[in-house]
Amino acid sequence: MLNRLKHLFGDKKNKEFGINNITPIEKIAPKEQIDLIRFFKNELPDSKGRYHKDILQFNHEQIEYNHDFIQWILPTIDKSQFHPEAPTIDGHFKEQLQHDDLAKSNYCKTCQLYLNYIGFHCNKRRIQCQITGRLYELPFHNQLRITRMLNSLNQVGNNQCSTNLYHAIISEIKPDSDKINNSTLEYWAKTQRINRNCNILIGAIAGDIIGSIYEFNPIKSIDFPLFKEHSRFTDDTVMTIANADWLLTGDSLSGIMLDYGNRYPRAGYGKSFYNWLQKDIPQPYNSFGNGSAMRVSPVGWVLDTLEETLKKAKESAEITHNHPEGIKGAQATAACIYLARTGKSKQEIKGYIESTFGYNLSRTCDEIRIAYQFDVTCQGSVPESIIAFLESKDFEDAIRLAISLGGDADTMGAITGSIAEAYYRNVPDHIKEEILKRLPEEFINVMEKFYKKFIMKNDDKFSDKNKSNQ
């Protein structure tokens, strides 16, 4: 063991696992007063009294055996299970860091510190391995630290650095090596999902996943945790992906929906739709449930005219929901998305939906919330979902308003989220990351293909039009 330590760290005169100059405890800021930006500017120490400049002096032995500093130099949005006193970050920190040259520079210096330790070097964002095989020699918890680093780089806005590091590490891993297991490789790969071109359909899926834990536990407030341990995708997401796949391939919609439904049989389908999935040749069952609206969002993104969008939404709906109200709910939702992503104002969207579909959108969420109950019909949930969007001030607020009504939370979240995404064109990274890590790889692949085929060529055009909404 001693020889292994010498091999890893060399014969160091300094055998301390801390640092030489510890800040007196009375000068350490209370936890609730900690400002992480000030830590990166050497104005405030961490919870152990160490300034950023002190950690930069860590030798390899100190890096290896100190387990309470990595959460400070590579902060993430997630609370540390082992060091709950460590800070977390949010969008405000990200913005501060990107606009503070000293803090940003020092963040990069600590990244370089740890990169050097694991045998890599960064020069102008180009990351290369300097010590071949070093990854295989390091204790396992360094694989967890690498996961943290990949996440932290993404979450502070250095996405390209995260991608570069990921590829540099992967290129050094031998295919037949058992030193780094498949589970670790999967975790590393998941950190890169946010850097892939899957920036559309996130809105509907986010609303579904966030609402999943409130579907049968209604809440009448906008103040609730967005994600919990059991937050998961449901049938809303499965059928949204199925509809995206249909638009990508042009194959039979019923065949695609049957395929996805039977491969994800426990996604929470309604009884009628579940029975539809069991048929060899399924037929429409005259439904006016909101299942037609929950899955239609891909249609709102792909057609060049509103008329084509309405026609395609009807096709999407009537495969199961051939009742006029079921078709209307799908068309209204797709129309909202089309109008929002082509730059129409909320007032214009509201006017069109009211005049075309007869929905009453003049109510407020506060008025609805008082007596509103669980309702899975299109006519009893689609208007309310649209109202939540119309009343919102940003994407997250839209989702919170929809779920706070206390109804069919996952489906209403999906409908509202799909429209809000098209209008605001900005699903916050902290939501996007939580969503992507809860999805199967095949869903991510469909979303990526959908974005590349239908959105990428028009993305600048849509973004420019959308600026008029803000």
Task: Give domain status of residue 431, yes or no.
Answer: yes
Residue 5 pLDDT: 38
Tell me, yes or no, whether 185 and 235 share the same domain. Answer: no
| Angle at the Cα of 172 from the Cα atoms of 166 and 173, rounded to 5 degrees | 95
Nearest alpha carbon to residue 454 among 275, 246, 281, 289: 246
Helix (H) or strand (E) holding 126, with range, is strand 126-129
Last residue of a domain, one of 194, 223, 258: 194
Residue 29 pLDDT: 39
Q: Using alpha carbons, list the distances in angstroms from residue 169 to 49, 133, 148.
A: 33, 11, 14
Tell me, yes or no, whether 248 and 214 share the same domain. Answer: yes
Residue 460 pLDDT: 53
Tell me, yes or no, whether 271 and 148 share the same domain. Answer: no
User: Which CATH number belongs to the domain containing residue 383 in this structure?
Assistant: 1.10.4080.10
In this structure, the number of other CB atoms found within 10 A of the CB of residue 423 comes to: 28
Task: Give domain status of residue 227, yes or no.
Answer: yes
Task: Give domain status of residue 212, yes or no.
Answer: yes
Task: Give domain status of residue 266, yes or no.
Answer: yes
Q: Look at the chain and report how many structural domains it folds into.
A: 2
Residue 34 pLDDT: 57
| Angle at the Cα of 432 from the Cα atoms of 429 and 434, rounded to 5 degrees | 110
Cα 331 from Cα 315, distance rounded (Å): 10
Tell me, yes or no, whether 305 and 226 share the same domain. Answer: yes
Tell me, yes or no, whether 296 and 215 share the same domain. Answer: yes
CB 230 within 8 A of CB 423: no
Task: Give domain status of residue 450, yes or no.
Answer: yes
Task: Give domain status of residue 8, yes or no.
Answer: no
CB 456 within 8 A of CB 304: no
CB 412 within 8 A of CB 384: yes
Residue 182 pLDDT: 86
Nearest alpha carbon to residue 389 among 323, 326, 297, 317: 297
Tell me, yes or no, whether 126 and 214 share the same domain. Answer: no
- Annotated binding-site ranges for Mg(2+): 234-236, 408, 410-411
Structural domain harbouring 274: 202-468
Task: Give domain status of residue 9, yes or no.
Answer: no
Tell me, yes or no, whether 228 and 357 share the same domain. Answer: yes
pTM for the structure as a whole = 0.76
Tell me, yes or no, whether 39 and 125 share the same domain. Answer: yes
Helix (H/G/I), strand (E/B), else coil: 127: strand
Last residue of a domain, one of 194, 219, 250: 194
- Six token digits for residue 225: 């945790």
Tell me, yes or no, whether 164 and 188 share the same domain. Answer: yes
Give 33's strand partners.
none
Return per-residue pLDDT of the chain as tens, 470 residues: 334 434 444 443 333 333 333 333 333 334 433 589 999 999 999 989 999 999 999 999 999 999 999 999 999 988 888 888 889 988 789 889 989 999 999 999 999 999 999 999 988 778 888 888 888 889 999 999 999 999 999 899 898 999 999 999 998 887 666 778 888 988 898 888 888 877 889 999 999 999 999 999 999 999 999 999 999 999 999 999 999 999 999 999 999 999 999 999 999 999 999 999 999 999 999 999 999 999 999 999 999 999 999 999 999 999 999 999 999 999 999 999 999 999 999 999 999 999 999 999 999 999 999 999 999 999 999 999 999 999 999 999 999 999 999 999 999 999 999 999 999 998 998 899 899 999 999 999 999 999 999 988 666 555 544 544 55
Tell me, yes or no, whether 407 and 354 share the same domain. Answer: yes
Helix (H) or strand (E) holding 398, with range, is helix 395-404
Tell me, yes or no, whether 139 and 39 share the same domain. Answer: yes
Q: What is the largest CA-CA distance in the chain?
A: 81
Tell me, yes or no, whether 341 and 213 share the same domain. Answer: yes
Residue 83 pLDDT: 85
CB 378 within 8 A of CB 292: yes
- Annotated binding-site ranges: 234-236, 408, 410-411
Task: Give domain status of residue 100, yes or no.
Answer: yes
Last residue of a domain, one of 194, 221, 238: 194
Residue 314 pLDDT: 99
Helix (H/G/I), strand (E/B), else coil: 204: helix
